[in-house]
A = this chain, B = another copy of it.
Amino acid sequence: MATIKDVAARAGVALGTASRVLSGSSQTSADSRARVLAAAAELGYVAHGPARSLRRARTDVLGLLVSDIRNPFFSELAHAAEQEARRHGFTVLLANANEDAEQADAYLRTFAGQRVDGLLFSPQDNISPQLAATLASGMPLVFLNRTVEGVDAPLYGTDNAQGVQQVLSWLERRGHRDVAFIGGPETISTGAERRAAYVAGRAAHGISTDDRLLDAGDFLAGGAAEAMSRVIDRGVPFTAVFGANGQTTLGAVRALRERLGAEQAARIEIVSFDDLDWFEFASPPISAVRNDASAIGRLGVRGLIDLLAGREAVGQRIATTFIDRAVRGTG
């Protein structure tokens, strides 16, 4: 296991400098910070346990950094995490990255400066200098729903492959061949996994492999509406739309209604990853993969508490259920 001496050597700085950077001190130059953090990340440096607990007094506060608090999936997850934490005597402070990697980094810095015992994190993107620093500081951390390649922390997240399989089976049962897929960013693990499962599985379910029917937004309503519009502009007809998360489906439905009119839009069947409050009221009602945000929040908190107690935490993929709201008839 790498020591702080190894990190200092690799970064080409004095031991004291490495120590100051890794303890989060601001008395360091930007250059040495960058070098030390990169070295720590490369070597997989983890701060020594006892030193850590000396430095940090327990506060019974957990930090939760979500991707987008306006996404009901994350507000439900946050609610469940907080309820579970309270059952174990912890409170949860929440921060919102708003699907922005820079903002996520700002909040990782905030949490480092605050007195939190551990972090629940739904990341945006690839490993960032601040995430490397957080890991290097020895802060116990679990990932919620999304992971970052190359970081060894337990993930509690949706079984994306299962959820997409349920959608594909439903599309086949409903007789859809021409399906528009509106995905999320490829840089986010959920975006990449859902698209990969869809692209890999569509042919086996009799669904067109015409890639002009694929597009992607930002997992927010605005970007999804633009992606839906681009698919419409390509002129390839489709009878169903699959939105890769709840906000994506919202944006796609808005774009369909704006571009085609409510009546024409109502002839297109919609299916969504994430089940939202209003899907039962849409016309026609929207079928959906229920992505168990509560279970993810709950299990993530239990995992983090295990880490805090020095126990091992094993990540888990949480099963999805499919809510079929199709109006009966020929698809």
Contacts of A283 in B (CB 8 A): 281, 283
Contacts of A114 in B (CB 8 A): 59, 61, 93, 114-115
Q: Kindly state whether residue A196 has any CB partner on chain B within 8 Å.
A: no
Name A103's contact: one of B72, B75, B86, B257 (CB within 8 Å): B86
Q: Are A106 and B78 also in contact (CB < 8 A) when A95-B94, A114-B114 are?
A: no
Q: Kindly state whether residue A229 has any CB partner on chain B within 8 Å.
A: no
Give min CB distance, A193 to chain B, whole Å.
25
In chain A between 36 and 60, which residues have their CB closer than 8 angstroms to a CB of chain B?
A: 59
Cβ of A94 and Cβ of B91 under 8 Å apart? no
Please indicate which of the listed interface residues A72, A86, A110, A276 has the most CB atoms of chain B within 10 Å of its own CB.
Answer: A110
Q: Provide 6 A-B residue pairs closer than 8 Å at the C-beta atoms, listed in order of the A residue.
A: A59-B113, A59-B114, A78-B96, A93-B94, A94-B94, A281-B281
A contact set with B: CB distance below 8 Å: 59, 61, 69-70, 72, 75-76, 78-79, 82-83, 86, 91-96, 98, 103, 106-107, 110, 113-115, 221, 250, 253, 257, 276-278, 281-283
Cβ of B113 and Cβ of A98 under 8 Å apart? no
Cβ of B110 and Cβ of A93 under 8 Å apart? yes
- A107 (CB) vs chain B CBs: closest residue: B91
The complex is assembled from copies of this chain, and their number is 2
Cβ of A95 and Cβ of B103 under 8 Å apart? no
Cβ of B70 and Cβ of A72 under 8 Å apart? yes
- A60 (CB) vs chain B CBs: closest residue: B110
- A250 (CB) vs chain B CBs: closest residue: B277
Q: Are A69 and B61 also in contact (CB < 8 A) when A93-B93, A110-B93 are?
A: no
Contacts of A93 in B (CB 8 A): 93-95, 110, 114
Give min CB distance, A228 to chain B, whole Å.
15
Apart from A86-B106, A94-B94, A277-B278, what 6 extra A-B contacts exist at CB < 8 Å?
A72-B72, A86-B103, A91-B106, A91-B110, A250-B278, A257-B281
Contacts of A75 in B (CB 8 A): 69-70, 75
Name A94's contact: one of B61, B69, B103, B276 (CB within 8 Å): B69
